[in-house]
Amino acid sequence: MKRYALCLVSVLCSLLSVAQKNVIDEVVWIVGDEAILRSDIEKRRLDYGSQIKGNPYCVIPEQLAIQKLFLHQAIIDSINVTDADVNQFVENDINQKIMVAGSKEKLEEYMKMPMVQIREELFEQYRNEATAMRMREQLTSSIKVTPAEVRRYFKDLPEDSLPLIPTQVEVQLLVLQPRIPQAEIDRVKALLRDYAERVNSGTTSFSTLARLYSEDPGSARQGGEMPYMGKGELDPGFANVAFSLTDPKKVSKIAQSEFGFHIIQLIDKRGDKVKCRHILKRPEVAQADIDSALVILDSITKDIKSEKISFEDAVRYASDDKDTRNNRGIMSNLKETGETTTRFEMSELSALSPELARVVDPLEVGEISKPFTMLNKRGMTICAIARLKNRTTTHRASVTEDFQVLNNVVKQKKGEEAIRKWIKEKQQSTYIRINPDWRNCDFQYDGWVK
C-alpha cells in the first residue's frame, strides 16, 4: 500500500512538472493522492466569483484542499449523503442557470456540453460539498456550551463588540381561504383527466404536458420530474397516490394535496423512496369570492376592535390556517439552524411573503391591519388580517434578552477552534505539495506550505 501511494504521488508530481509547461491546465496542489487542477479553480471562480472574499487563486485552492481532507475522513467514518439530498441542490442550480441563460438549449451552448453532462458534473460537485459539510457537522456535533461559558465570554467585551440584533417582529395571523366553487374544481379535474388521456393514448408525453401546463414552477421545467423522496417528505394526499403506483407507463388517478390537484407518473422506486413526475393544477379563485372573504374579515376586525371578541378567540373560531390556528395565530419561524422561534427579521418576513411584510411594517404593537390578500407557502391565494404582537428594535445583544443568539456565537467559535485543530493535525499527517507559483498567499489555515 505504501509503495502504491508513493508511486501515485510520484506520478502526480510528474504531472505537476509537465503541466507547468501547459498554460491550458496544470496541477497546482496535491493533497494526499488527489490533485487540484487550475481548471478546477477557474470553474469555481466563474461560479462563485462574486461571493469570494480575497484572492480567488488563494481562497479557492485552500477550500478545495480542506474539502479533500473532509472527504477522505468521510470515507473512513462511512459518512454518506443520499442522492435525493444532492439532487435537490442540482435541480435548483440548473433551474437558476437556465433562467439566466434564457433556455435549456442556450445553457448547453454556453457550457459547451449536453444537459446530461451538466447534471453529472453538478451532481459530483454538490455530493462532495454535502459530504464535506456532513463531515464537518459530525466533527463539531459533540460541542456543548454552558450558560456560564456564554456569560464569561461576553462579560468583558466592549458593547460595540457585541452582535447587532436587527429589528424583529412577532406576528399573529387570522386567515380565510376564499371559497372555491365546485364548478371550478370540476374544471381543473377535467383538464387533468384530459392530460392523462393524452399520455395513456400515446398522443403526448407526460413531460411535454408538464412543461406546458404544470403550475409547480420547480418541477415543470424538468418535465414534472421530482427527486427521490420518502413518504414523510411529501404531502399525505400526494404520497398516498404516488406510493401506490406500480406501472411507469400509467398515469395516476387525480390526487388532491394542500397545493392543489395532481396527476402523477411513476419513474422509479428505490427502497423507501419514490421518483416520479407530476402535473399540478390549482383552482382559480374568483375576485368575487376574494371580496366576500375580505368583507367577512372586515367584520371580524370591527368586532375585535370593539372588544366583542379577542384576536386569539377569533383565530380559534374563524381561521383556516392550521399552522397558526392552534397557536393563537402566532407565526413560527424555522431557522436554517433548525431552531424555531416566533421572531422574524423583516427580511425573513419579506422572503416568506412580501405582501405580509408590507402590511406589518407600519403597524404599531397591538395594532390590527386592514384585510389583505397574499400567497401562502403553498402558492394559494388567501385573505388575512395581521396583528403586530411585538416589535424589538435594532439593538446590541444582551445575555438576558438574546441568550440563544449569544449561545450560538460561542458555540460557533468553539466549533471553528475544533475544526482548526483538526485541520492542523491532518496537515501534519497528509502529503501536501503546492506549486511554488501558488504559495504566495495569506491562507486561512497555516501549515499548508512545509
Q: Examine the domain organization and report whether 20 and 119 are in the same domain.
A: yes
CA 124/CA 127 separation, integer angstroms? 5
Q: Examine the domain organization and report whether 26 and 45 are in the same domain.
A: yes
Residue 366 CA: distances (Å) to CA of 208, 344, 387: 51, 16, 6
Q: Examine the domain organization and report whether 93 and 234 are in the same domain.
A: no
**Inter-residue contact 389 to 379 (CB < 8 Å):** no
**Inter-residue contact 343 to 333 (CB < 8 Å):** yes
Q: Examine the domain organization and report whether 115 and 9 are in the same domain.
A: yes
Measuring CA to CA, which residue among 197, 218, 344, 187 is closest to residue 281? 187
DSSP state of 352: H
Q: What is the largest CA-CA distance in the chain?
A: 86
Please tell me the total count of domains within the chain. Answer: 3
Within its chain, how far is the Cα of 245 from the centroid? 28
Position 363 in a domain: yes
Q: Examine the domain organization and report whether 79 and 211 are in the same domain.
A: no
Q: Examine the domain organization and report whether 112 and 131 are in the same domain.
A: yes
Position 377 in a domain: yes
Q: Which residues contact 289 (CB under 8 A, 6 or more apart)?
A: 178, 179, 180, 181
pLDDT at residue 23, rounded to an integer: 46
Backbone angles phi, psi at 13, to 5 degrees: -65, -40
Position 133 in a domain: yes
What is the average pLDDT score of the chain? 87
pLDDT at residue 86, rounded to an integer: 82
CA 264/CA 341 separation, integer angstroms? 36
Say which residue, 54 or 288, is predicted with more confidence. Answer: 288
pLDDT at residue 357, rounded to an integer: 94
Q: Examine the domain organization and report whether 333 and 416 are in the same domain.
A: no
Say which residue, 227 or 373, is predicted with more confidence. Answer: 373
Within its chain, how far is the Cα of 217 from the centroid? 15
End-to-end alpha-carbon separation of the chain, Å?
Answer: 24
Q: How confident is the model at residue 49 (pLDDT cuts 50, 70, 90)?
A: low
CA 129/CA 127 separation, integer angstroms? 5
Radius of gyration of the chain from its Cα atoms, rounded to whole angstroms: 27
CA 314/CA 304 separation, integer angstroms? 8
Position 404 in a domain: no
Name the domain boundary from 248, 281, 314: 281
Q: Examine the domain organization and report whether 75 and 111 are in the same domain.
A: yes
Mean pLDDT of 263-275: 90
Instruction: Please give the model's pTM, rounded to 2 decimal places.
Output: 0.63
CA 384/CA 288 separation, integer angstroms? 16
Q: How confident is the model at residue 24 (pLDDT cuts 50, 70, 90)?
A: low
Name the domain boundary from 262, 281, 300: 281
Q: Examine the domain organization and report whether 325 and 363 are in the same domain.
A: yes
Position 192 in a domain: yes
Position 407 in a domain: no
Assign 92 to helix, strand or coil: helix
Measuring CA to CA, which residue among 94, 124, 109, 108 is closest to residue 223? 94
Which CATH number do you get for residue 84?
Answer: 1.10.4030.10
CA 32/CA 36 separation, integer angstroms? 11
Q: Examine the domain organization and report whether 128 and 173 are in the same domain.
A: no
C-alpha cell at 78: 462511512
Q: Which amino acid is at 435?
A: N
User: Does residue 11 carry a pLDDT above 60?
Assistant: no
User: Does residue 245 carry a pLDDT above 60?
Assistant: yes
**Inter-residue contact 346 to 141 (CB < 8 Å):** no
Position 353 in a domain: yes
- The CB density around residue 260, as the number of other CB atoms within 10 Å, is 19
Full residue range of the structural domain in which residue 48 is found: 2-143+412-438
Q: Examine the domain organization and report whether 245 and 357 are in the same domain.
A: no
Mean pLDDT of 62-68: 94
Position 155 in a domain: no
- The CB density around residue 312, as the number of other CB atoms within 10 Å, is 16
Which CATH number do you get for residue 336?
Answer: 3.10.50.40
Q: Examine the domain organization and report whether 175 and 192 are in the same domain.
A: no
pLDDT at residue 212, rounded to an integer: 92
Q: How confident is the model at residue 331 (pLDDT cuts 50, 70, 90)?
A: very high
